[in-house]
């Protein structure tokens, strides 16, 4: 699209004046951004696909004796190999941090030196305020990353997933950055962080500058991916650093800190935030957090169940207070939603959490000898048969025959309640 302001006009003009790739950059891309092979044929001769040299070689990794490239020798009858890759060049132009994106397409033929072709896909221009402008080729309709109209001019484009993905590919090791980025602590490229995000953070976030100057590359990389988390726990990071703690595994450390926060622990305690054995305390709090999650879920289920009390009264209220016995075993109904949950918790069964109290055509009893629960029984309200009779933890109840007789002898009582 056409430039909409003077800044875009300036960027588009400078984009057209960028230098072409150097021989060193093209050779680096050929030897580092794709898998290099030497094809081995039946007579034992291997052919380097980079320089075309032939020599005797066995299968496996080796170096071409002519060009010195590290290649994998593969036995094949294939005569032509095609490959492609994306890579970026990091440079600076008149106060703008520039990330240039290139596509390399190469065809290897037996006995011929590789002759790659290069296409500039576009570039990110980042000003001193961290704002980006994209210059690039026109995209065509399609799901593939390289759905570009290669004959289109490099113009101002909207940023999109394709440009963002390509800008995070292979990085040419010789980089040039603006004076502002140097001042803010940049010394070498931080791999594992998206280049655009990395430079934006260095230009706009004082915390990124602090981490970079402190040599905390791992934390800086984490900040590029999770800036809000680093901002939220910045005071905790400072406490850990003052305690002399080195955060070698930021991902695990932040997981641990977030669990401490969720459980209401003191995030300003050096003893907690600077553990001697991070993995051990991390695993300990994972277990604690899981227990707390289960407890909170049970409480949530209980509250939901209390809201279901009205529905329970409508379905089961007429059966409340049913009691039957053979003189030793006492069988009675569960008379509220809370009793269902208490029974489930006490017996380690799902009678509460699975909402048995809302099942229309069944009725649940508990059986006891004195004050000890021996079984939980579910019966059908259609034919009054026992659907299940479970002891503790869903085990088989040794009294199930006696319980079945008690219920059978008192079916008339249940029928009367049903008709009421």
Mean pLDDT of 198-210: 94
Mean pLDDT of 277-298: 90
45-48, strands of its sheet edge to edge: 54-56, 45-48, 37-40, 70-75, 60-63
Residues 38 and 46: beta-carbon distance below 8 Å: yes
Domain-located, residue 166: yes
Q: Helix 217-225 to helix 195-204 angle, to the nearest 10 degrees?
A: 100
Residues 177 and 186: beta-carbon distance below 8 Å: yes
Under the banding of pLDDT at 50, 70 and 90, the label for residue 67 is confident
- Residue 265 pLDDT > 80, yes or no? yes
- Residue 112 pLDDT > 80, yes or no? no
Which candidate, 371, 370, 367, places its Cα nearest to that of 397?
A: 367
Report the distance separating Cα 408 and Cα 389, nearest Å: 14
Domain-located, residue 239: no
**Which residue among 148, 171, 194 closes a domain?**
171
Task: Return the residue matching tokens 């051990």.
Answer: 280
- Kindly state whether residues 17 and 131 are assigned to the same domain: yes
> With helix as H, strand as E and coil as C, how does 151-220 read?
CCCCEEECCCHHHHHHCCCEECCCCCCCHHHHHCCCCCCCCCCCHHHHHHHHHHCHHHHHHHHCCCHHHH
Average per-residue pLDDT for the chain: 90
- Residue 306 pLDDT > 80, yes or no? no
Burial (CB count <10 Å: 0-12, 13-18, 19+), residue 160 = exposed
Under the banding of pLDDT at 50, 70 and 90, the label for residue 31 is confident
3 state DSSP class of 252: helix
- Kindly state whether residues 119 and 26 are assigned to the same domain: yes
- Kindly state whether residues 279 and 314 are assigned to the same domain: no
- Kindly state whether residues 221 and 357 are assigned to the same domain: no
- Residue 92 pLDDT > 80, yes or no? yes
pLDDT digits (tens, 9 = 90+) for 363-397: 999 999 999 999 999 999 999 999 999 999 999 99
User: What per-residue confidence (pLDDT) applies to 388?
Assistant: 95
Q: What angle do CA 369, 373, 377 make, to 5 degrees?
A: 105
**Which residue among 232, 261, 276 closes a domain?**
232
Most distant CA pair in the chain: distance in Å?
Answer: 101
- Kindly state whether residues 195 and 276 are assigned to the same domain: no
Structure token digits, residue 253: 């450390």
Report the distance separating Cα 265 and Cα 243, nearest Å: 18
pLDDT digits (tens, 9 = 90+) for 326-369: 999 999 999 998 899 899 999 999 998 888 999 999 999 999 99
- Kindly state whether residues 161 and 219 are assigned to the same domain: no
pLDDT digits (tens, 9 = 90+) for 123-168: 999 999 999 999 999 988 777 777 888 889 999 999 998 999 999 9
Which candidate, 3, 126, 123, 108, places its Cα nearest to that of 64?
A: 108
Structure token digits, residue 130: 């961290």
CA 400 to chain centre: 49
Residues 377 and 331: beta-carbon distance below 8 Å: yes
Domain-located, residue 238: no
- Kindly state whether residues 97 and 215 are assigned to the same domain: no
Per-residue burial over 125-149, b = 16 or more CB atoms within 10 Å of its CB, e = otherwise: bbbeebebbbbbbebeeeeebbebe
What total of structural domains would you count in the chain? 4
- Kindly state whether residues 143 and 61 are assigned to the same domain: yes
- Kindly state whether residues 343 and 204 are assigned to the same domain: no
- Kindly state whether residues 390 and 265 are assigned to the same domain: no
User: What per-residue confidence (pLDDT) applies to 376?
Assistant: 96
Cα end-to-end distance, the chain, whole Å: 79
Residues ≥6 apart with Cβ < 8 Å to 273: 236, 239, 240, 243, 245, 257, 260, 267
Domain-located, residue 199: yes
- Kindly state whether residues 13 and 111 are assigned to the same domain: yes
Structural domain boundaries enclosing 124: 6-171
Length of the chain: 420
Under the banding of pLDDT at 50, 70 and 90, the label for residue 411 is very high
Rounded percentage of the chain residues whose pLDDT exceeds 90: 65
CA 326 to chain centre: 59
- Residue 34 pLDDT > 90, yes or no? no
Domain-located, residue 240: no
CATH number, residue 361: 3.40.630
Q: What angle do CA 200, 202, 207 make, to 5 degrees?
A: 120
Under the banding of pLDDT at 50, 70 and 90, the label for residue 102 is very high
Which candidate, 172, 122, 171, 175, places its Cα nearest to that of 145?
A: 122
Domain-located, residue 237: no
Per-residue burial over 55-68, b = 16 or more CB atoms within 10 Å of its CB, e = otherwise: eebeeeebebeebe
**Which residue among 265, 290, 305 closes a domain?**
305
User: What per-residue confidence (pLDDT) applies to 18?
Assistant: 93
User: What per-residue confidence (pLDDT) applies to 345?
Assistant: 92
- Kindly state whether residues 165 and 35 are assigned to the same domain: yes
Which secondary-structure segment (H or E) carries 15? helix 6-15
Domain-located, residue 193: yes
Domain-located, residue 26: yes
């Amino acid at each position: 699209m056409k430039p909409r302001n003077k800044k875009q006009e300036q960027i588009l003009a400078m984009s057209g004046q960028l230098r072409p790739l150097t021989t060193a950059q093209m050779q680096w891309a050929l030897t580092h951004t794709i898998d290099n092979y030497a094809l081995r044929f039946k007579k034992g001769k291997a052919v380097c696909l980079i320089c075309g040299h032939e020599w005797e070689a066995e299968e496996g990794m080796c170096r071409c004796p002519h060009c010195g490239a590290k290649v994998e020798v593969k036995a094949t009858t294939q005569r032509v190999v095609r490959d492609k890759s994306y890579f970026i060049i990091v440079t600076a132009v008149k106060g703008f941090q520039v990330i240039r994106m290139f596509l390399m397409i190469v065809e290897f033929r037996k006995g011929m030196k590789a002759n790659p072709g290069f296409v500039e896909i576009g570039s990110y221009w980042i000003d001193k305020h961290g704002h980006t402008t994209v210059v690039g080729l026109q995209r065509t309709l399609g799901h593939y990353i390289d759905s570009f109209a290669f004959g289109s001019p490099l113009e101002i484009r909207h940023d999109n997933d394709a440009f963002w993905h390509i800008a995070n590919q292979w990085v040419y090791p010789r980089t040039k950055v603006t004076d502002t980025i140097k001042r803010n602590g940049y010394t070498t490229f931080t791999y594992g962080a998206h280049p655009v995000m990395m430079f934006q953070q260095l230009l706009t976030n004082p915390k990124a500058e602090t981490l970079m100057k402190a040599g905390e590359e791992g934390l800086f990389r984490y900040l590029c991916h999770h800036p809000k988390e680093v901002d939220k726990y910045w005071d905790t990071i400072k406490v850990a650093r003052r305690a002399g703690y080195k955060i070698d595994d930021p991902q695990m450390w932040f997981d641990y800190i977030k669990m401490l926060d969720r459980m209401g622990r003191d995030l300003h305690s050096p003893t907690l935030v600077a553990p001697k054995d991070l993995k051990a305390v991390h695993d300990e709090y994972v277990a604690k957090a899981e227990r707390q999650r289960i407890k909170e879920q049970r409480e949530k289920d209980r509250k939901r169940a209390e809201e279901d009390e009205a529905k329970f009264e409508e379905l089961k209220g007429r059966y409340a207070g049913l009691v039957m016995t053979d003189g030793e075993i006492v069988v009675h109904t569960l008379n509220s939603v809370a009793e269902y949950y208490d029974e489930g918790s006490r017996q380690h069964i799902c009678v509460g959490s699975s909402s048995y109290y809302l099942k229309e055509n069944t009725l649940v009893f508990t059986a006891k000898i004195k004050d000890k629960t021996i079984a939980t029984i579910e019966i059908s309200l259609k034919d009054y048969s026992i659907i299940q009779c479970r002891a503790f933890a869903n085990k088989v109840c040794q009294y199930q025959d006696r319980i079945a007789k008690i219920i059978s002898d008192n079916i008339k009582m249940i029928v009367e309640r049903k008709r009421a």
